Amino acid sequence: MKQFKLSALLLVTMAIMACGSKNKSEEKNDVTEPKVESTQSAVVLNANLATIEELVGIELPEAFIQKIMDGRPFLSMNDFDAIVGADWNKENLYGKIFIPFNLNTTAEADFKMIPGVGDRMAHEFEEYRPYNSIQQFRREIGKYVEEEEVARYENYVFVPVELNTASEDDIKALPGVGDRMAHEFEEYRPYQSIEQFRKEIGKYVDDKELARLERFVYLKER
């Protein structure tokens, strides 16, 4: 039943977007606009958080969108990569959709899944471990590339936060964590254990979302 509902929603979404595209085309009449080519999307979707409309918007096939929705949450980029298969141009696909890597635990070779990251930059990502904040990442990697490129990299990585000491800004830098959830993270301090985190934050999200959030946090050993 869940798959049937999702398929129906996909069809409706695709029909609505196709209709909107047709109307815009008709409005243009004979006006020709310059074609702008870009190797990267302005926004890289998080495969765990993207809406069906967003997935349709980056022109993913219906069957693959179904696969993504059925597989969520992906607890690592490697899990997502496993459902992609060999037929895709991954450089192009991962310029549009990705699961952010943990900067402190990801294997150097895996960083090369990020579009535009080769051997040298993957090494630099690993070189400055452990990262204590995303600000540290910006500072260190900013020695090698322009600010815009650092900002692009931030679509692909995160720094896990220490539950009892992380600043609100660092918590909100985590994928899919906004003002409300950042407040809840702070509300239950001090945490005595990860089990306590699961219990308290589990009041607000389901088990799948809790599993996704848990990979972003840790507690210092006492």
Which residue segments constitute the domains of the chain, with CATH numbers given?
1-24+39-99 (no CATH), 100-159 (1.10.150), 161-218 (1.10.150)
H or E segment and range at residue 158: strand 157-158
Instruction: Give the pLDDT score at 143.
Output: 97
Nearest C-alpha neighbor of 100 from the set 71, 120, 74, 69: 74
Asked whether the beta carbons of 143 and 182 are under 8 A apart, the reply is no
Structure tokens at 54: 């967003």
pTM of the model: 0.83
Nearest C-alpha neighbor of 44 from the set 30, 58, 64: 58
Q: Is 66 exposed, middle or buried (0-12, 13-18, 19+ CB in 10 A)?
A: middle
**Cα separations (Å) of 46 from 73, 147, 173?**
10, 21, 14
Instruction: Give the pLDDT score at 37.
Output: 34
Which residue, chain included where needed, has tokens 């695709």?
Answer: 14
Hey, how many other C-beta atoms are within 10 angstroms of the C-beta on 145? Answer: 15
What pLDDT tens digit does each residue of the chain (222 aa) get? 556 556 666 655 655 555 554 454 444 444 333 332 334 546 899 999 999 999 999 999 999 999 999 999 999 999 999 999 889 999 999 999 999 999 999 999 999 999 999 999 999 999 999 999 999 999 999 999 999 999 999 999 999 999 999 999 999 999 999 999 999 999 999 999 999 999 999 999 999 999 999 999 999 986
Rounded-to-integer distance, Cα 116 and Cα 104, Å: 20
